[in-house]
Structure formats: C-alpha cells, structure tokens
Amino acid sequence: MNKAASIVAPLALLALVSYGLHGAFFRAPTETQMGDVQRIFYFHAPAGIMAFVAFMITGIVSAIYLWRRRLIYDVIAHASAEAGLLFCTIVLITGPMWAKPVWLVWWTWEARLTTTLVLWLIYVAYMLVRRYTDGRDQQARFAAVLGIVGALNVPIVYKSITWWRGLHPVVLQESGGGGLDPEMREIFRLCIFVYFFLYACLLAVRVPLGYAEDELASLRERVDERTTA
C-alpha cells in the first residue's frame, strides 16, 4: 500500500463504519418482534458472510499454493485466514449477544452455532500450525491443508439451517433477501460493503507484511548458518 493509499483507506474506512453505524442504529426501522436487539443483525450477519468469503479465498489460494508452490499464494492465504478468523470471532461474540434476549440462553448446541464453532476452531488450528510448525515449506503445506478443510466446511455451515432445523432464524432466504424490510435490506447491504472494504484493507496491509516477515526469517536463517559455520 503506497503512502497516499495508506492515508485515504483508513479515512474512507472510518467514514464507512460511521455511516454504517448510523444506518444500523438510527435509519433502520425497529423490528416488530425482537425490538432493538435485532440491530445486532447488521453486524452479525455481514461478519458471517465475510468470514465465509475470506475462508473460501483461503481454501482456493491454499489449493493453488499446493499446486504451484509460489510464496505469494501462501502469503495471501495466511492474510485471508487471519481476516476470516477475525470476522468469525465477531460472529461468535455477537451471536450470543443476540441469542440471550431472544432464546433466553447465551449458547445452545444447535446446528448453525455448532458448525460455526467448528469452523472457527479449524482456523485457530490453522494459526497454531503457522506458529509452531518447524520449516517454512512444511508450515505452509500443513496450513494449506487446514485452509482447504476449513473452506470445505463453509457450505456445511451455510446449509446447516436447511439440513438440521434448529433455533437459528432464517432471515435471508436463498431466493434472495426474503424477510427483510426494504430499508433494512439497504442498511444490510451497506454493512456488507463496510465489512468487505475492511477485508480488502486488511489484506492490503497484511500481504506486504507477510512478505517482510518471510524476508526477515530468511535473513535470520542466513545469519544463523554463518554463525554456526
């Protein structure tokens, strides 16, 4: 990210986040049954969508890395997995906040919640592999396999409401946007765009940083080799 972009992007993100917050709390109409607690939806659902996107990109790019063995693909996969784990964590935090007033419990082992937790744990394992596996190539290969496994779990999480009926509400129907007031749908799409822009900014920062980390690790290895020689 060049100097101009590094200034403009955070300002644009701040403006978008502020606009999204204003829309979620002040512009969107109050849902008739759940009341104001439903406003968590504008943070919860877009975070889930972007987690799916990030993890799918991680899986696809990880598969390309295993095929081509080029560093760029591994760096992108790592950056996307980190962003996806952030979004998935937001989902798991905001979900219980929404569930407590509606279901009267913070957590229940229904299908969508359980499969989302499994997805989150897969990518926690992904990060642990990144940190504790010896050897750059072996680390990348093991992480790539986990990235693909996690991506394969995304459709299971998405279809879990259909396959195993539970308490989780079906706010968005597969035919497209059913169940949302038009103004709610507009705010919802705005929040998705905010999360997408955040994801793009995170990748723009993390990919060059990933390259720098690899270069630093390579330099350290060379210094260690010369020291021990």
- Name the residue ranges covered by the structural domains of the chain: 40-228
Global pTM? 0.88
**Model pLDDT, residue 97:** 87
pLDDT classification of 5: cutoffs 50, 70, 90: low
More confident: 131 or 6: 131
The stretch 65-78 carries a mean pLDDT of 94
Give yes or no for a contact between 143 and 164, defined as CB atoms under 8 angstroms apart: no
Mean pLDDT of the chain: 86
For residue 189 the two structure tokens come to 């799409």
Task: Give the model's pLDDT for residue 4.
Answer: 61
Answer whether residue 178 shows pLDDT above 60.
no
Residue 175 has pLDDT above 50, yes or no: no
User: Would you say residue 201 has pLDDT above 80?
Assistant: yes
**Two tokens at 27?**
């512009």
pLDDT of 166: 64
Helical segments of 41-181, H only: 41-68, 71-103, 111-132, 136-163
* Confidence label for 75 from pLDDT (cuts 50, 70 and 90): very high
**CA dihedral for 40, 41, 43, 48, sign (positive or negative):** positive
